[in-house]
């Protein structure tokens, strides 16, 4: 496996990523990308000047996973958006390798913090379907993973939960904010 910059002229990789993105998110995050075309547009947006777009490929050029980064706060903070690994290859270290690679890309650009939002649209955590305006920090500190939500993957990569946006995806469907200092 190697991780390289995704180039706009690599139409084969772009199409593979769009399919993987749609397939990987359709079960628990159906509102993310309604179809392959909307996923393709997401990939194309990653070529903006203030973005990072990196792809993990095998020796034959098959896409294993993709990660993006978006500069914010004058480059001091970068949003990890999105991260996707072919569902058949998840839990094999590809996602972690992509996150580590993005951290290095952010570091060389002078970034200090990498952050992300990881939505809970499908009652996957104990933060779903509750009032997050009451005792917010207590509820965050006692979060439970009920259905394999990816927040635990990000914690294993060194991210910390730094907040939530209640009702971000509808009543009782929060966005969980996570961040990591890039040293």
Yes or no: say if 103 and 113 are a contact pair by the CB < 8 Å rule.
no
Determine the pLDDT at residue 132. Answer: 97
**Segment-wise mean pLDDT, segments of 10 residues, the chain, 183 residues:** 98 97 79 86 97 98 98 98 96 98 98 97 96 97 97 98 97 97 89
CATH number of 112-183: 3.40.630.30
CATH number of 1-111: 3.40.630.30
DSSP 121: -
DSSP 61: -
Determine the pLDDT at residue 33. Answer: 77
Torsion of CA 168, 19, 154, 81, to 10 degrees: -60
The H or E element that residue 65 is part of is strand 63-72
User: How do the domains of the chain map onto residue ranges?
Assistant: 1-111, 112-183
pTM value?
Answer: 0.95
Q: Which of 156, 144, 69 has the alpha carbon at shortest distance from 176? A: 144
How many Cβ atoms from other residues are within 10 Å of residue 2's Cβ?
Answer: 12
User: Collapsing DSSP states into helix, strand and coil, what is residue 85?
Assistant: strand
Determine the pLDDT at residue 30. Answer: 65
Same fold yes or no, 1-111 and 112-183: yes
Yes or no: say if 43 and 17 are a contact pair by the CB < 8 Å rule.
yes
């Amino acid at each position: 496996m190697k991780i390289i910059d995704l180039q706009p002229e690599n139409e084969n990789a772009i199409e593979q990523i769009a399919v993987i993105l749609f397939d990987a998110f359709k079960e628990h995050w159906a509102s993310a990308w309604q179809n392959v075309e909307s996923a393709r547009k997401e990939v194309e947006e990653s070529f903006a000047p203030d973005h990072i777009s990196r792809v993990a490929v095998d020796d034959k050029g098959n896409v294993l996973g993709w990660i993006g980064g978006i500069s914010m706060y004058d480059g001091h903070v970068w949003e990890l958006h999105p991260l996707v690994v072919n569902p058949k290859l998840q839990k094999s270290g590809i996602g972690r390798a992509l996150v580590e690679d993005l951290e290095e890309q952010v570091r060389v650009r002078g970034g200090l913090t990498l952050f992300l939002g990881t939505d809970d649209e499908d009652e996957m955590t104990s933060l779903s379907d509750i009032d997050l305006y009451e005792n917010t920090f207590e509820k965050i500190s006692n979060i439970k993973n009920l259905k394999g939500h990816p927040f635990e993957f990000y914690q294993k990569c060194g991210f910390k939960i730094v907040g939530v946006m209640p009702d971000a995806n509808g009543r009782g469907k929060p966005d969980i904010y996570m961040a990591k200092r890039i040293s």
